[in-house]
Amino acid sequence: MKKALASLLAAGMAASLLAGCGGSSSTAASTADTSTAASTEASSTAESDAPLEGEITFWHSFTQGARMEAVQKAADKFMEANPGVKINIETYSWGDFNTKWNAGLTTGDLPDMSTAQGTGEVVEMMNADVLTPIDDMVDDIGRDRFSANALADMTSDGATYGVPYYSHAQVMWYRTDLLEAAGLEVPKTWDEFYDAAVTLTKDGQYGAAFSCSPNDLLSTRYLNYYVVSAGSSLLNDDLTANLTSKEAIDGINFWLKVYKNCSPAETINYTVNDHATLFYQGKTAFDFNSGFMIGGVQNNTPEIAQYVRCAPLPRMTDSDPIYSAEASHIPLVVWKNAKHPEICKAFIEYLYDTDNYVEFIHSVPVGMLPSLKDIATNADYLNNDTIKEYSDCVDVIQTAVDEGHAIGFEHGPSAQASYLTSQGVIEEMFQDIITNGTDVETAAKAAEDKLNDIFDTMIS
């Protein structure tokens, strides 16, 4: 199990872990110790004011040019201002990053700081005991500047282990031109969405797509929308899997109906990128995604970009309140083995400096929303053509960010929520039903049991 692996790693790296944790010794002090305490405080202050010196490794997954360049530019400026510091940046795809740090639990090849693929991966790291708390840094940046929900998703036993670098949330995207041509209103309910998707499935155009590759999380994501809208969750209060409740069975049947009547058949094996490309290229009328949808359309089929807009996720009835089923935050974390955690924290704080931060967020406008509340209203941030053009979409997504949590985090951060989205079990369930004709209730029970077995095996 991961905790066992982390313990082996900790045993082999005891010295560096002690250096990374820091802290001061407690004493049975009396008033006679006042001068010693004052001396220690003065020494600490002097040390904190000393020039930063040392070398750190930063792993991140911003493989696209603009984002990568923004991070490298900030690192170069930080090193120029701190000549004793060297920052080695290594870039990995999200999938490769997950594989690499998990392998590093046994090899010891781990970074000093990194990004993570959402709060779920932070929980996996917390479960493996490889991160160091960063509350001092959060307070220095300004705790109130962040969403309380975002920090809560990365907090355990009162300690914060990650800060959101940018945020986004899942909303419903649609084509205004296609709806107008068909005389349709923007759907507010799941039934309206389905009826509109069926109507728009014609002449090589599909109303929507439903994708099931076990190498991604789309089926889990879509089922979660429906279940949350019905007032339930894919995890029970005791953190066991919930795929056999009425809400879950109804959701499974709903998405099977969408796949059968509105979606290309080949999406049974589509991943997130394959799936999103259908909308980017104008082949689907609806999709569910974050603000990254804008850049995808602009880069693939710019002639339809003016017709792309978003709305809140569909509800059960139009009188139901608007809700958020999935908010995502891409975090920055400091690893427990870091020899120079003070450099990591200082560099992260530097990344949040207004000029650096706005430049980074502008590398994918609307796709990446600022995780700092004050930046969201900053004039320099708002002075961007794409943000101006899609300001209505920004408002919809921002509301979903502020009100939402990661999938399964309705019960607080948990490793179960992370494994719910990372194991492909729900995707395999849908494939089994579609390909083999397995009864929905039977397949759901088997998938529920499999998830619970994974939870029991992976979580001590």
Residues 172-230 pLDDT 10s:
999 999 999 999 999 999 999 999 999 999 999 999 999 999 999 999 999 999 999 99
Domain 171-325+411-458 has CATH 3.40.190.10: yes
- Specify the pLDDT at position 31: 33
Domain 2-18+52-167+328-389 has CATH 3.40.190.10: yes
Question: Is the pLDDT assigned to residue 246 strictly greater than 90?
Answer: yes
Decide if 297 contacts 312 (C-beta within 8 A).
no
Nearest to 75 by CA among 63, 65, 89, 64: 89
On the 0-12 / 13-18 / 19+ scale of CB atoms within 10 A, 85 is buried
Decide if 308 contacts 300 (C-beta within 8 A).
no
Average the pLDDT over 255-282 and give the result.
97
Compute the distance between CA of residue 152 and CA of residue 142 in angstroms, rounded to an integer: 15
Mean pLDDT of all residues in the chain?
Answer: 89
Structure tokens at 50: 């000393």
| pLDDT per residue as tens digits for the range 286-301 | 999 999 999 999 999 9
What band does 48 get if pLDDT is binned at 50, 70 and 90?
Answer: low
The model's pTM: 0.85
Determine the Cα angle at 401 with ends 395 and 405, to 5°: 160
- Specify the pLDDT at position 1: 39
Give the residue range(s) of CATH 3.40.190.10 domains in the chain: 2-18+52-167+328-389, 171-325+411-458
